Amino acid sequence: MKQFPPSDLLNSLPKQFFASLVNTVNQFIQQGYDVINLGQGNPDQPTPSHIVAKLQEAAENPVNHKYSPFQGHRYLKQAVAQFYQREYGVTIAPDTEVAILFGGKAGLVEIPQCLVNQGETILVPDPGYPDYWSGVALARADAAIMPLQEENHFLPDYSKLTSDVLEKAKLMFLNYPNNPTGAVATKDFFDETVRMAREHDICVVHDFAYGAIGFDGKKPISFLQSEGAKEVGIEIYTLSKTYNMAGWRVGFAVGNSSVIRSIELLQDHLYVSLFGAVQEAAREALTGPQECVKELTALYERRRNVLIDGLQSLGWQVTAPAGSFFAWLKVPAEFSSAQFANLLLEKAHIAVAPGIGFGQFGEGYVRVGLLTSEERLKEAVRRISRLEIFKKHVDI
Ligand SMILES: Cc1ncc(COP(=O)(O)O)c(C=O)c1O
């Protein structure tokens, strides 16, 4: 059969680092090994039942069987504004400052095409969520990395960016609570970000995917809580993590109205908005009972404690994440992140994500997801203990 080669644009997309890892993990599972998969970021809990019930009810309504309004239902945008007011004390104009998205990923990948021309520069955190790179490639833009390092609490150090890079940069991605490092941002850092973005005319895109997941009683802050943030950027929120709705594909962008307008313009050309019943359920999630969110965060915190306490008791010097559902663990010096991930898979049947998959500054770490039960996390610690890599060896 004739083969039609992909376009140069498709060929320029970054290679999916984790695809081969997923294959290897699947091979182990097919061979019958009991693999504890801590490598992925797929929430393991179901969507709260009141949200599912709303979808069921709304699916019966013939109004929702028609095309939705192109830019989404106004009631959902109003729900978003209500959510931001209630959770963060931030006032959002529903008609001009909210764009409805098919999940956060869609927005993150669309934004460079909305605002950046070929050859212009986008600042990207390293390590970082790989989809930022996809957006850069689709816009035929250039990326300049902002290293996230432990000595700076995994926040970018703007003073290290050269004036040349700052001059060329049009857009910047940030993400706190952070995937993969589990770090959270401070108000001071976001204030500094606003100042820097204003001075250099950079649009800030803060990916707030893990906004609901902060530990030790500390609620993660929104970028939009910083004065002037709306002038210089937007925040992208998703219902995937907060309400265990990853499969539903619903999120939104909030903030600077010119950016929101551009997102909606691009989306007008790409899609009609989400299924109306999903929009009704999303409104229910944002404005209905929030007990489920507290319970979910408490669940992740218990799992974090089991994992981190367990690993520390083996003598592995690991740091507890302050937010997100990931732990970012330094690997022993004699291993690369890929070697250590392979060792855990082959010898302990535990899948983790090697840090190098998130960028060069991810080397030396592995990312471990808290998306399995406390029992399985304890079992993972027991299996690691048997490898006798770390000094202390105690029963758990
Ligand atoms: C940092 C980060 N941003 C955005 C997303 C996108 O989530 P969704 O497309 O489900 O909204 C994810 C999902 O894993 C993520 O980890």
Q: What is the pLDDT of residues 71-85, one digit of tens each?
A: 999 999 999 999 999
Per-residue pLDDT tens for 309-363? 999 999 999 999 999 999 999 999 999 999 999 999 999 999 999 999 999 999 9
294 CA from centroid of ligand 1 (Å):
20
- Predicted confidence band at 16 (pLDDT cuts at 50, 70, 90)? confident
Examine residue 395 and state whether it is found in any structural domain, yes or no. no
Task: Give the tens place of pLDDT for each residue, 228-260.
Answer: 999 999 999 999 999 999 999 999 999 999 999
Cβ(324)–Cβ(129) under 8 Å? no
User: Nearest 5°: CA angle at 181, between 203 and 171?
Assistant: 10
Task: Answer whether 184's CB lies under 8 Å from 175's CB.
Answer: no
Q: Nearest Cα to 195, choosing from 153, 240, 227, 157?
A: 227
How many percent of the chain have pLDDT more than 70?
Answer: 98
pLDDT category of residue 392 using cuts at 50, 70 and 90: low
- Could you give the CA distance from residue 45 to residue 257 in angstroms, rounded to a whole number? 35
2: in domain: no
Q: Give me the mean pLDDT over the 358-379 stretch.
A: 97
Q: What is the pTM of this model?
A: 0.96
- The stretch 23-40 carries a mean pLDDT of 93
Mutational pocket test of ligand 1: of 16, 44, 207, the residue with most ligand atoms within 8 Å of the beta carbon: 207
Residue nearest atom 12 in ligand 1 by C-alpha distance: 209
CA-nearest residue for atom 15, ligand 1, is: 209
Calculate mean pLDDT across residues 289-305: 98
Q: Which residues line ligand 1 (CB under 6 A)?
A: 41, 103-105, 129, 175, 179, 207, 209, 238, 240, 246, 251
Give the separation between CA 78 and CA 71, rounded to whole angstroms: 13
The CATH number of whichever domain residue 87 belongs to comes to: 3.40.640.10
Q: What is the pLDDT of residue 396?
A: 46
What is the number of structural domains in the chain? 2
**Which structural domain, as residue segments, surrounds residue 249?**
49-287
Q: Is residue 391 part of a domain?
A: no
* 327 in Cβ contact with 352 (< 8 Å): no
- Examine the domain organization and report whether 197 and 123 are in the same domain: yes
255/358 same-domain check? no
What average pLDDT does the segment 165-193 reach? 97
Q: What does each C-alpha distance from 336 to 205, 330, 354 come to in angstroms?
A: 31, 10, 9
The single residue listed with the structure tokens 């925040």 is 235
Residues 301 and 259 in one domain: no
pLDDT at 393 over 50: no
Instruction: Tell me the C-alpha distance between 344 and 337, whole Å.
Output: 11
Q: With CA atoms as reference, report the closest residue to 108 among 258, 252, 323, 255.
A: 252
pLDDT for 10: 94
Q: Say how far apart CA 377 and CA 382 lie, in whole Å.
A: 9
